[in-house]
Chain A
Amino acid sequence: MGYNALRILKEGLSRNVGWRPIWRSLEPKSEYDMIIIGGGGHGLSTAYYLAKNHGITNVAVLEKGHIGSGNIGRNTTIVRANYFLPGNSEFYSHALKLWEGLEQELNYNVMMSQRGVIMLCHSDGQRDAFARRGNAMINQGDDAELWSTEQVRAEIPYLDFDNTRFPIYGGLMHGRGGSARHDAVAWGYARGADRLGVDLIENCEVSGIDVVGGVVKSVQTTRGTIRAKKVGIVTAGRSSQVAAMAGLEVPIESHVLQAFVSEGLKPAIDHVISYGMGHFYISQSDKGGLVFGGDLDFYASYAQRGNLPMMEHVMEAGMTLMPAIGKAKVLRSWGGIMDMTPDGSFIIDRTPIDGLYMDCGWCYGGFKAVPASGWCMAHLMAEDRPHEVAQRHTFDRFETGENLMDEEGTGSQHNLH
């Protein structure tokens, strides 16, 4: 289906009845070369790159609800490559490069907006740490600029610079970072995968994984048994449950992360701003809503809603940083279920079962990773060896202590990230 200005005008004048679904609605076949469990951003991009990069098109994506009904629709849409540690650094750098070409790749408007991500600092020590991080980003080949207080003030004048407890000492600007339209990312990958011959099977919940002699054979679903040579589990907050179907236990605890959006306002916030005082970040959507969030609720949860104390904390942080937003009304809030690993970094790896692979542990940073996650998962499933930018992201790093990627430097333990 083509999209162009003339078409929009024509459809608009004819009650928009001419639009058609952009991927097929299918019955599952009885056998595929590969099955991806989970039709969210990561699962769809995995399927897309299996077909595109590796020519493997006899693939099904099994989604228990509808396409894009998980965390790809429950995030704050931020895209950035401002990581510090080897492993994460090259991976997110790869992801950002894919983001930059994503609309051309998919021929679909994902509203990629490289408006700049600035992390504010509030002490000499934090500024030093940001200088070091910025150098790491530049060494990786990405962009970073250490901004003085005056530079921040010139660009973002409405912050409370002289706050007694958390004065703003400048910030680290990552100009190529920004945001994208979350649902469009899912739809674009779904459309792209569908066009390459991948079967997207919605309303198909996986209830079992059949393993014979240590080799994966098939999956049981609400739409029957489907055989496959290889199966990839890409189910974010539900990773533990799907892994358990194959008898696996994983180093994941699921937590709820809340986010909020205000009523629509005139353009006010030009960048993505993160407040270094604790954890608060904010941007403005193209519709005008202020999109903001903070920390996890800090207890295991599968409820897609959080509790009031963290909501209050986020509002307080926002008011402290930019008192003017106190006049905006919160329109709605939501919670996403985060698959938290002990070190706060993800896993793309084989499992002890032949033909079974997992892409999980995205913690609260899955959205920006969507293109590279699929790229690397597809590589792993097709070639049976990790992609070079995700080779450190293994299950065994927790057991061996090798390649732990504790980006926050707080320790590799479940409740610390």
Chain B
Amino acid sequence: MRITCPLCGERDRREFYYLGAKDYLDRPDEGDVEAMHRYLHIRENPTQVTQDLWQHEAGCAAWLVVERNVSTHEILSVNLANGTKT
């Protein structure tokens, strides 16, 4: 599996750290226990296309949203997590 970092180009999967579903971008307010539980634990866990957070740890260290088919390992798109391509 190879991932094309928007800043560094196509790189080996080993340069990237996997965090998990991009749900992690939507952190709920402090004190909302139910929302925090969903944010931390509950996952849609789709069988086809998923959007996950990866970090180009051994490269530019940018956080990325990688759209990927989890049944075929195909990478469909890679974007910077902050949404700005600079």
Contact = CB atoms under 8 A, between A and B. Distances in A.
A391 to B, nearest CB: 20
Interface in B1-52: 1, 12-14, 18-21, 33-34, 37-38, 40-45, 47, 50, 52
Contacts, number: 70
A303 B71 contact: yes
A300 B45 contact: yes
Interface stretch (A161-169, A176-184, A250-258): A250-258
Contacts of A240: 43-45
Contacts of A414: 20-21, 40-41, 43
Given A398-B41, A399-B33, A399-B37, A299 B47 contact: no
Nearest to B54: A299
Contacts of A300: 20-21, 45, 50, 52, 70
A83 interface: no
B52 A249 contact: no
Interface in B59-86: 70-73
B18 A415 contact: yes
Contacts of B14: 309
Contacts of A398: 37, 40-41
Given A309-B14, A399-B37, A302 B70 contact: yes
Contacts of B71: 301-303
Contacts of B42: 249-251
Name the prevailing secondary structure of the A interface residues.
Answer: mixed
A377 B80 CA distance: 44
Interface string A53-64: 000000000000
A298 B13 CA distance: 11
A311 to B, nearest CB: 12
A299 B47 CA distance: 13
Task: Specify the main secondary structure of chain B where it touches its partner.
Answer: mixed
A252 B43 contact: yes
A62 to B, nearest CB: 19
Contacts of B37: 398-399
Nearest to A251: B41
A340 to B, nearest CB: 9
Interface in A386-417: 398-399, 412-415
B44 A249 contact: yes
Contacts of B52: 299-300
Given A303-B70, A398-B37, A399-B33, A415 B43 contact: no
11 contacts: A238-B47, A240-B44, A240-B45, A249-B44, A251-B43, A253-B43, A254-B45, A300-B52, A307-B13, A307-B73, A414-B43
Interface of B: 1, 12-14, 18-21, 33-34, 37-38, 40-45, 47, 50, 52, 70-73
- List 6 tightest A-B contacts by C-beta distance, closest first: A240-B45, A251-B41, A299-B18, A399-B37, A398-B41, A302-B71
